[in-house]
Each structure stands twice: as C-alpha cells, then as structure tokens.
Amino acid sequence: MVLRVESLTKEYLKGRKANDDISFEVAAGEVLGLLGHNGAGKTTLVNQVAGLVRPTSGSISLAGRDPVREPAFARSACSIQPQAHAPLNGVTPRQAVEMLGRIRGGRRDQVRRRTEELFAALEMTDSADLPGQRLSGGIRRLTSFCMAAVEPGSLVLLDEPTNDVDPVRRRLLWAEVRRLADDGRAVIVVTHSLGEAERGVDRVVVLDEGRVVALGTPTELRRAVPGELRLELTVNPQAPALVAPAWAGPQATNGNRTSIPVPAEYTQEAVGWAAQLRTEGLVDEFALSPVTLEDVYIQLTAEQKEERHDVAA
C-alpha cells in the first residue's frame, strides 16, 4: 500500500475540525478521486499527506514511512500539483517543468524527453516556449500538472488539475493520470468535476465537513441511491402538474425539467408512461439514463445537511 491514512484529524482552530477521523488507503496503480464541497477539507488532507501541514492526531503511512516525522522524505515520495497556479512569471513552461524534473533528481536527458512527451500528449508544445506571463489559465494549469508528472514520486497528488482546462485537453490530462497509475504510481485527484471523476478514477472518497461520508468505486456509490435510473422529462409549461406512478421516486424539478428516480425493474413502465405523456402533449421530450456520480453526490451531501439540521434542531 503506498498510502495509509488512519483516524486523521486536523484542527486549525480549537473545536473546528477541518479533517475529522479520516481513514482510507491508496495502492500503487490506483487513481483515487477526492470529492467534497468547498471547505470540506480536501486540500487540508492532501497537504498533511505531503508533509506540508501537521496533523492534530491520527497517522499517515507513506510508502511505509511517516511524512510528519520525515518531511524531506514526504517531499521526495510525493509529487504535488497545488491548487494555486504555479508562479511562472519570467519562465517558460519548458523551463519550469525541466527545472522541477532536475530538482526532483531526474537525469537531464530523461527529464528533457519526458517533458517533450508530456507537452505532446497534452497538445501544448506550441506554448512550451512562451514566457509565463503570456500563458492562458488553462496552459498554466497544464504546466503545473506537468511539473507534478515529470519526475513523479510514488504518490502523485493533483489538486483540481483540470480547472480552467478546455474539454479536449481535460481528456488528454485524464489519460496522462491513468498512465501515471499504469506506471505504478498511486494517484489522488481532488476534483469538483464529477463526470470526469466517474470516468477517470478507480475509487472515490467523499468528504463533508471534514468527515468521510462515502468511500467506494463509482459503481458502488451509484448503488447507494434509490432508483438506479433517472427519467428526465421536459414538461409542457401549459400542462397541469404530473401525477407520478407508485414506482417513481421523489421528483426534482428545475424550470420545465423534471427528474424522477426509476428502479431498474420498472424500465418498461417508465418508458411506457413517458411515451404516453408525450402522446397526450404533457411532456415535450424525455430520456431515461443511468444514475450518475453527480446524482449520488448531490443526494449524499443533501442527506448530511439534513442530518446536521436535525441535530441542531
């Protein structure tokens, strides 16, 4: 196991836990997605693992060693893409990436080759020799990713690597993330892009107010929500309110779009009902699709909010 985190707790301010009793593991070859609202504690967790922030209690084992006691070891065992943009004023992406590769102990020729390979894979060779101040936000973010990937440690920590990046290069970046894992690295990706996480990660940890509220593969998490399918209806604005059949889960409405959870065994009934509504002119169009990780996430975090509200009441 490359990383084992046990009962990790961090209190920046007395009585306010940014991380609260967090436990999980990441193996070599695995990509773990770290999800959670703003302020849920993701960056705090990543920074503790990288030896940048001291835990209040709990333990971290990184490649069998303790990053808290051995911060120099943590810096060599982890390569990190921080959430903030890398300071690139006065340097080109090529200079920044090659410099990082050399600082991390890579041989000059190997670092050059790997830098070139990453730029080509991310289709950013045209920007490789531009001065930092002329780079777009997306190219800056990709440069930060390359700095983490050029001479990677056994654990690669990527904090929101696809922010500002265009959809095509996001896919290219996720392919590079997978390549890092295939080469034997353990990878943790902090992201708010649930669709990307669904396709790109092996397992997911969802944090809410510093605590782990879900941990598993995207498929395992999807099973946790009622209704394995979603019926999306575009409702005719003139139509009276829909009366959903007994098999339907609770409706969620947004403007003229209504989403209804459907148990998989009622697929035929759902399609029949929706087709009938369309024939009657009550809905303009419909689609039946699998539950997504985003559905699960929204439901999980809403449940947590409700629980907190109940406790407070």
Residues that bind ligand ATP (CB under 6 A): 12-13, 18, 36, 38-44, 83
Q: Which residues of the chain form beta strands (DSSP E)?
A: 3-13, 16-26, 31-36, 57-62, 78-81, 155-159, 186-190, 203-208, 211-216, 229-235, 252-254, 257-262, 283-290
Q: Are strands 211-216 and 257-262 parallel, antiparallel or unpaired?
A: unpaired
- Min dist CB 42 to ligand ATP, Å, is 4
Q: 201-214: buried (b, 16+ CB within 10 Å) or exposed (e) per residue?
A: bbbbbbbbbbbbbb
DSSP structure class, residue 226: S
Shortest spacing between CB 304 and ligand ATP, in angstroms? 14
Whether residue 205 contacts residue 191, with contact meaning beta carbons closer than 8 Å, is answered with no
Question: Which phi and psi angles does 108 have, rounded to 5°?
Answer: -50, -50
Least distance in Å: CB of 296 to ligand ATP?
18
CA distance 60 to 232: 44
Rounded to the nearest 5 degrees, what angle is found at the Cα of 17, between the Cα atoms of 308 and 218?
A: 65
User: Which residue, 86 or 262, is less far from ligand ATP as judged by CB?
Assistant: 86
In the bound complex, what is the minimum distance in angstroms from residue 165's beta carbon to ligand ATP?
A: 17
Whichever of 43 and 92 has its CB closer to ligand ATP, that residue is 43
Q: Which residue has the tokens 């333990």?
A: 59
CB of 16 to ligand ATP, least distance (A): 7
Query: Minimum distance from CB of 236 to ligand ATP (Å)?
Result: 39
- Cβ closest to ligand ATP, residue 83 vs residue 125: 83
Amino acid making up residue 166: D
126 φ, ψ to 5°?
-65, -25
Complex with ligand ATP: residue 22 or 26, whichever CB lies closer: 22
Cα–Cα distance for residue pair 81/161, rounded to 1 Å = 7
The residue (of 19 and 127) whose beta carbon lies closer to ligand ATP is 19
- Which CB sits closer to ligand ATP, 44 or 127? 44
Minimum gap (Å) between residue 85 Cβ and ligand ATP: 14
Contact at 8 Å (CB) between 286 and 277? yes
The answer to whether 204 touches 179, Cβ cutoff 8 Å, is no
* 210 versus 261: smaller Cβ distance to ligand ATP: 210
CB closer to ligand ATP, 62 vs 205: 205
Residue 190's DSSP bridge partners are: 34, 159
Q: How far is the CB of 247 from ligand ATP (least distance, A)?
A: 37
